Structure 1
Amino acid sequence: IYIIVCIPLILCSFLFCKETVVNVNVFDKPVKFSESLGSLLKNPMLLLLVVSSTLGTAASLTRVGTQVYYYQYSLQRADLAGTIMVAYQVGQFLVPFVVPALIKVAGKKMSMIATNLLDGGALLVLFLLGPDANPILVVIGSFFVGFFAMTALIMFSATSDCVEYGYYRNGQRMPGASVGVMAMSIKLGLAVGGSLGLFLLGLFGYRQGVVVDEVMRENINFVVNAVPAILTFLCVIPLIPYKLTNKRMKEINAKNAEADAILASRNASVD
């Protein structure tokens, strides 16, 4: 189903999306890797996003890697696993339709903070419902966990703001390096989250073939829901000092447009 849906969409993007290139030469010479890395390290807003993104990805993968144990052993309703996971996917499907309006109204910073808090709250509710939770409430809670998982999408949108902020602050645009660093944060989060959940299950005593008692059911619930909730709440901390609000970005973009115009005029006079 994914292939049938995605291939026409990818072909449409290839055939109908046109790139608009602004002919402004920011650099007179190729940028060395050391210069690129130095510029990134001087961009605190990007570094804050990287930390938050790593924590958020770790939270997501911690749950994804252990959720089957939750359905089978904690809830003891393996028959509902498909329904619950579909509810989560439906929530995620709605995310791209909501994010643009949310960013426009609340700005990227407040949107990231709010969605992390709401997503962490939905996970915490699932944890507090306990192993004997009403399956309908678990389905609803899983839908909201997927729906509020908007931060990753917003962060990649915010990466462009960090690129402009870096140009404003350091005189260098690093779009490729900035996106690469954000991609690296996701890979790091995947590595941490992919192993953390299973490590914690083992730490709390789960072994294949071991009888799952009431204590183990609670422990699995804690690993699958409470640990990702804690990591998701921690995502908010790096976003508190993040300064790139909608108002601030208008000021920065205006300054950068002036700098681009001056540079373009100099290049034109040299030519």
Structure 2
Amino acid sequence: MIATFRYAFGMQVRRRSLWIMYGLAFAVTAAMPPFWTLDMGYDDGQEPWQGMATAARLLTSLLPLVYGCMLADRPVRDRVLRVEPILAATPTNSTARLMGAYAGACAATAVPFAVAYFGRALLFVVMEGQPSALWWATLNFTASIVPGLAFLGALAFAGPLLVPPMVFRVLFVAYWFWGNLIPKGMMPTISQTIFDATGDYVRNGLLAPPTVDYGPGPPAVFDFLRPASSPGTAVLWIGVMIALSAVMLFLLCLHASRSES
């Protein structure tokens, strides 16, 4: 598993297309004025905990699209290259290889995301002289971004086993906008529910005062999945993301074991 992790991580992090696609998505995000008004002074700007939550919210609008799409071709790569029989002959099992590939590929694909986010945090520190921004950035990234990426990574590994990678990418983009970015009043959507992968429940309920109207508000479909933001619902969201990831990885391991036998 460790060897597979190292190989998958090194192979993915060196992909030129990975950095190019992230760069394009980041350029679109950086074009949003709020991204550059985090450190304009506390009279007009935001304090460290506010600024890091805002930066996380802005980056999780588009960068997860790149994350999911760049992972879509990883699960079927061994099959395309016809090396599955060779791997099956090695002194390991399909579950260890799958978990190593999942962890390595997801970690590598998250590296440009982390570079963009912590780079913005460092700029905040330089502009405002507030080192605590790095602490808040670490807390935000760990608690509100990583669980969502773990879920999206498991989804990106499971989806291409059902449909071709290119089809999955199209469906993934549609899912991301429908299930995470479209406001709840526009159409039936799981956006702003505990199944929303953007991490706003953690940022609003655990790391900052609520800024998104979760729970109360105009009636909408799936409101029963929109409890009010609180520390409890923040922990619930993290648990849901981990549980969904675990279920999909279990099904993937089961599929891999059956294919190997």
Whether TM exceeds 0.5 here: the answer is: no
TM-score w.r.t. the length of structure 2 is 0.31
- Largest Rg, 1 or 2: 1
> Larger RCO: Structure 1 or Structure 2 (Cα < 8 Å, ≥ 6 residues apart)?
1
TM-score w.r.t. the length of structure 1 is 0.31
